């Protein structure tokens, strides 16, 4: 059975941890990959979740991009298995907001 909870090590790699250790990591700002407001009233946020959302299949799904405000408010959600994919997904979400809002 693969781990459910992860923290980032000093190099930014996810490493398995216990629920207790994950829960003690209170500084959420350390998990922010990117946050921006591409247009007034709309925020695109990409974060390291630290909880595997992959249902135990494939690589752990540990990053997420969401939109807040605008037509996609809380309905847009993309998840990723790597920080690089999360950063690329964040850029795509920002472009979507700029082109579509």
Domain ranges of the chain: 5-100
Give me the pLDDT at residue 101, please: 58
pLDDT tens, position by position, 40-96: 999 999 999 999 998 777 899 999 999 999 888 889 999 999 999 999 999 999 999
* C-alpha torsion 52→57→59→65, nearest 10: -50
Nearest CA among 77, 80, 58, 20 for reference residue 7? 20
Q: What is the largest CA-CA distance in the chain?
A: 44
Nearest CA among 39, 41, 40, 83 for reference residue 65? 83
Give me the pLDDT at residue 83, please: 96
Instruction: Say how far apart CA 63 and CA 56 lie, in whole Å.
Output: 15
């Amino acid at each position: 059975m693969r781990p459910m909870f992860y923290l980032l090590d000093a190099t930014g790699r996810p490493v398995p941890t216990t629920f207790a250790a994950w829960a003690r990591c209170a500084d959420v700002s350390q998990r922010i990959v990117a946050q921006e407001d591409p247009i007034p009233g709309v925020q695109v946020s990409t974060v390291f979740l630290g909880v595997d959302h992959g249902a135990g299949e494939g690589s752990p799904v540990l990053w997420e991009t969401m939109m807040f405000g605008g037509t996609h408010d809380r309905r847009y959600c993309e998840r990723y298995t790597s920080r690089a994919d999360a950063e690329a997904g964040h850029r795509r979400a920002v472009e979507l907001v700029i082109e579509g809002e």
